[in-house]
Chain A
Amino acid sequence: AQTVTQSQPEMSVQEAETVTLSCTYDTSESDYYLFWYKQPPSRQMILVIRQEAYKQQNATENRFSVNFQKAAKSFSLKISDSQLGDAAMYFCAYSLTPIQGGSEKLVFGKGTKLTVNP
C-alpha cells in the first residue's frame, strides 16, 4: 500500500526567508502524481503544486518549487520569500494516474504546520 510520511510536524520561518518542507513516500508504481496542498485556518484544501513522476524536471509555481528525487522517493517543497499568508498546514499527497485505474484517491501525509514570523 502507498504511504506518505511528513517527518516535520511543525516548522517556522522568518518572513522573506526560505523554508523547505520534507515528504517521503512509498510505492511500487513507476508512474504517479505527487501534490502539495495548503490548508489555511479556513481549512479549505488549496493546491500548491503538482508533479508527475515521469517528468524529471522539478515543478515550480512562482515562489513554490519542489525537489523531486524519484529513486529516493522524496518530494520536498521549497517556499522562497516566505510571506505571512503562507502560514498554514501543508500536506503532501500521492495518487495513481487515470491509466492505472481505481479510485485515484489521494493518500495524504499527516501534515506540517508552518508558522511565518514577522
Chain B
Amino acid sequence: SQTIHQWPATLVQPVGSPLSLECTVEGTSNPNLYWYRQAAGRGLQLLFYSVGIGQISSEVPQNLSASRPQDRQFILSSKKLLLSDSGFYLCAWKGTRDPWGTDTQYFGPGTRLTVL
C-alpha cells in the first residue's frame, strides 16, 4: 500500500531563519506531488506541484521554493522565513498510471509551522 510521510510534524522558527520541510511517498512510482498551505480558518491553497524529478511549477509567487531531487521526495524550502509563512503545510501525491489510480490526491499528516 502507499504511504506518505512528512517531517517535521511541528516546527517553530524565528523570522529570517531558513526552512526545509520534507515529504516522501512509498509504494508508488512517478507520482504527481503537491504542496498546499492552509492558513488558520481557511481552505487549502496550492503552492507548488511537480510531475517529475526536477520539474517544479509554482502556483503562487512567494517567499518559498520547492525541489524534487528524487522521484518520491518533495522538499519545501525558504531562505528567510516571514511571519506570513506561518500555517499548516500539507503534501499530497496522486498516481499517474494504474494500478494506483489517477483521479485522487492523498495527503500526508502535515507540518504545523509557526514563525515568531
Q: Please state if B104 and A35 are interface contacts (CB–CB under 8 Å).
A: yes
Given A35-B104, A45-B90, A98-B102, residue A105 in contact with residue B46 (CB < 8 A)? yes
Q: A103-B59, A104-B94 are in contact. Are A111 and B43 (CB under 8 A)?
A: yes
Contact B44 A108 (CB under 8 A): yes
Q: Give the docked Cα–Cα distance between A108 and B107 (Å).
A: 14
Q: Among the listed A45, A97, A108, which residue makes an inter-chain contact with B103, where contact means beta carbons less than 8 Å apart?
A: A97
Complex contact A44–B46 (CB within 8 A): no
A98: which B residues are within 8 A, CB to CB? 96, 102-103
Chain A contact patch, size range: 20 to 34
Chain B positions within 8 Å of A103 at CB level: 32, 34, 46, 49, 57, 59
Interface size class on chain B is 20 to 34
- From B57, B105, B112, A106 is in contact (CB under 8 Å) with B105
* Chain B residues with CB below 8 A from A52, complex form: 103
Which residues of the other chain, A, contact B94 by a CB distance below 8 angstroms?
A: 104
Complex interface bits, A19-53 against B, C-beta within 8 A gives 1, otherwise 0:
00000000000000101010000111111001010
CB contacts under 8 Å to A, within B84-114, are: 88, 90, 92, 94, 96, 102-110, 112
Min C-beta distance of A55 to chain B, whole Å: 11
- The interface bits of chain A over 93-109 (1 if a CB of B lies within 8 angstroms of the residue's CB, else 0) are 00101100001111011
Query: Which B residues are within 8 Å of any A CB, using their own CB?
Result: 32, 34, 36, 38, 42-46, 49, 57, 59, 88, 90, 92, 94, 96, 102-110, 112
